[in-house]
Structure 1
Amino acid sequence: MDSHGQYQQQVVWAVVDADIGPLLLAATGQGLVNVVFHATDPVRDKALGRLASRLGAEPVEAPGSPLLSEAIRQVREYLAGERHAFELPLDWSLISGFHREVLSELASGVPYGSVVGYGDLAGRVGQPGAAQAVGTAMGANPLPVVVPCHRVVESDGGIGGFGGGLETKRKLLALEGVLPEPLF
């Protein structure tokens, strides 16, 4: 294999401290591949093990890597309220099919400060009856925050579920001005 091919398989990661808790960011030569909430040591180690088996490469801690430094900067700006849209290459290799279609539509079609219902999002990808499948896709999102699954809510006004926990979802929606700032 040539050196370029090996580079493509490289997986680098870093943990970013944030007020919503530590976030693990991982990237490949294709782009940002994974964001993991609550990245304490056990959560981080489990996520890195999953990445190694899914991507066939041992992830390397490299916060200064050019593959990661821009993602880290943009995530920090977003969490500080200074960035409303991410401009990052994304590596979608951890997700495919319907889930990927739904997440791609979410990433491009639901801007900062807005929300969409599970059923509405299903309709946008031509599967109007698939609200539950959209919920499953949100739960499987390998790129939360950057692919904003926190913007998907229940049509009756309920906040819906969230892989990062409802408190985190509320904080992200409050950051975007969709919800009042949580009191506790």
Structure 2
Amino acid sequence: MNSFAWTVVDSDIGPLLLAATDEGLVSVVFHARAGVRDRALGQLAARLGREPVEDVTGSGLLAEPIRELAEYFAGRRKEFGLPLDWSLTSGFNRQVLRELADGVPYGTVVGYGDLADRVGLPGAAQAVGAAMGSNPLPLVVPCHRVVESDGGLGGFGGGLETKRKLLALEGVLPQPLF
């Protein structure tokens, strides 16, 4: 395939750009209004070496990701069962992201340092933070579940308010008042 499928879906945290290859879901982008969407599609095309093809019907490669994300936001899905295309990450970052995806379930959190320990690199908390920042599959690979050891939220590429909403959805934080 010399292209990848993409679409933008509405969610409780704003528009999400979803992109998939034949291998699986390859990217999730927060706040995917026109400017962010266009920039992300250009970056994806360059990194994947493929042309973007909009899936206006939400069928084909994106049907299952759309369905599972809708179930997640409705509180009916606690675990994603999607095939993932890991081609946008490698090395240490991929190792950390795979551990996060497999080892930090819905409704729980893990510290940056604890995640570093899990992949055999104690003291690499900052490197784990960098891996979270480069996560091409947020939500599905749940970097919102990684927090500071003192209980602080830490950073988040989708913004701290988005992180709060996701953690509230999963029951880790109280629902925002407004």
Asked if 1:182 corresponds to 2:176, the answer is yes
Distance in 2, Cα, partners of 1:64 & 1:38: 18
> Which position in structure 1 is the counterpart of 2:117?
123
The counterpart of 1:64, out of the listed 47, 58, 67, is 58
Given that 1:12 and 1:65 are in contact with CA atoms closer than 8 Å, whether structure 2 keeps it comes out as: no
Kindly state the Cα deviation for residue 43 of structure 1 after the two structures are TM-superposed: 0.1
Q: What secondary structure does 1:122 align onto? A: helix
- CA deviations over 1:35-57 (Å, ceiling 9, x no partner): 00000000000000001100111
- CA deviations over 1:27-85 (Å, ceiling 9, x no partner): 00000000000000000000000011001111111143321100010011101111000
Give 1:57's aligned amino acid: R
Asked if 1:110 corresponds to 2:82, the answer is no
Distance in 2, Cα, partners of 1:57 & 1:51: 8
Distance in 2, Cα, partners of 1:23 & 1:41: 11
Kindly state the Cα deviation for residue 10 of structure 1 after the two structures are TM-superposed: 2.6
Asked if 1:28 corresponds to 2:28, the answer is no
Which 4+ stretches in 1 moved above 6 angstroms? none
Unmatched segments (≥5 aa) in structure 1: 1-6
> Which position in structure 1 is the counterpart of 2:83?
89
Kindly state the Cα deviation for residue 142 of structure 1 after the two structures are TM-superposed: 0.2
> Which position in structure 2 is the counterpart of 1:17?
10
Q: TM-score, normalised by structure 2?
A: 0.98
Distance in 1, Cα, partners of 2:157 & 2:5: 23
Give 2:83's aligned amino acid: P
Asked if 1:47 corresponds to 2:4, the answer is no
RMSD, aligned α-carbons: 0.8
Count of aligned pairs: 177
Give 1:155's aligned amino acid: S
Q: TM-score, normalised by structure 1?
A: 0.94
Q: What secondary structure does 1:60 align onto? A: strand
Give 1:16's aligned amino acid: V
Calculate percent identity across the aligned residue pairs.
76
Distance in 1, Cα, partners of 2:121 & 2:54: 40
Give 2:44's aligned amino acid: L
